[in-house]
């Protein structure tokens, strides 16, 4: 789901119910769910989903020369630029990551990078992505199965590699 609005099912301090679970000593008494507690005979508390989950990281995984035909490469660059511009104007907190670009929240630095970028020999930026709460949108020539373990779970992967002939 990449439409400009984020739906999240991560616990936090929002208003939508995430789940009801066992009471822990550090829980606030105001979150006790008295009906669930009465029904089960044990204290239960309500957890809520995060409301402010609007952090996004756009990753341009620049492919090796010859990996993509020139028109596919141009599509990948245009798509990354369009996504960056779109989400910046949707009031989403966006950061940008690409090989040879210091991670930045500046959309203009990202667009400048994309205007000049060429396919290059470099180690994949995907191996070096630090874990964060950000949701990733990854523009890549790689197959989803080639992503580091765990990265695909918190990412929307756009693979622009041409279909393989069998």
Domain presence at residue 102: yes
What is residue 145's predicted lDDT score, i.e. its pLDDT?
81
Residue 87 shares a structural domain with residue 147: yes
Domain range for 40: 11-49
Residue 95 shares a structural domain with residue 128: yes
What is residue 13's predicted lDDT score, i.e. its pLDDT?
52
What is residue 18's predicted lDDT score, i.e. its pLDDT?
76
Q: 48 with 11: CB under 8 angstroms?
A: yes
Residue 40 shares a structural domain with residue 63: no
Distances (CA, A) of 71 to 23, 75, 89, 93, 161: 56, 6, 27, 30, 11
What is residue 4's predicted lDDT score, i.e. its pLDDT?
46
Kindly give the confidence (pLDDT) of every residue in the chain, 166 residues in length, as a single tens digit, with 9 standing for 90 and above: 444 444 444 555 556 787 899 998 888 889 999 999 999 999 999 987 665 556 899 999 988 888 888 998 999 999 999 999 999 998 789 999 999 899 999 999 999 999 999 998 776 778 777 766 678 899 988 887 888 877 877 788 898 877 665 5
What is residue 52's predicted lDDT score, i.e. its pLDDT?
54
φ/ψ of residue 37, rounded to 5? -65, -45
Residue 142 shares a structural domain with residue 91: yes
DSSP state of 67: S
Residue 67 shares a structural domain with residue 44: no
Residue 30 shares a structural domain with residue 94: no
If one counts the domains in the chain, the total is: 2
Residue 16 shares a structural domain with residue 61: no
Domain presence at residue 1: no
Domain presence at residue 4: no
Domain presence at residue 5: no
Residue 152 shares a structural domain with residue 93: yes
Q: What is the largest CA-CA distance in the chain?
A: 65
Name which of 122, 126, 123 is nearest 144 in CA terms.
Answer: 126
């Amino acid at each position: 789901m990449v439409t400009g609005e984020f739906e999240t099912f991560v616990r936090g301090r929002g208003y939508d119910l995430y789940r009801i679970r066992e009471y822990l000593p550090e829980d606030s008494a105001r979150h006790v769910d008295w009906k669930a507690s009465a029904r089960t005979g044990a204290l239960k508390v309500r957890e809520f989903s995060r409301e402010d989950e609007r952090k996004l990281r756009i990753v341009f995984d620049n492919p090796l020369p010859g990996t993509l035909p020139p028109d596919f490469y141009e599509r990948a660059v245009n798509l990354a630029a369009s996504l960056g511009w779109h989400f910046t104007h949707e009031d989403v907190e966006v950061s940008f990551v690409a090989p040879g670009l210091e991670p930045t929240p500046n959309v203009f630095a990202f667009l400048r990078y994309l205007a000049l970028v060429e396919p290059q020999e470099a180690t994949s930026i995907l191996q070096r992505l630090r874990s964060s709460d950000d949701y990733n949108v990854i523009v890549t020539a790689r197959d989803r199965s080639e992503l580091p373990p765990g990265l695909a779970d918190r990412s929307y992967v756009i693979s622009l590699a041409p279909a393989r002939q069998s």
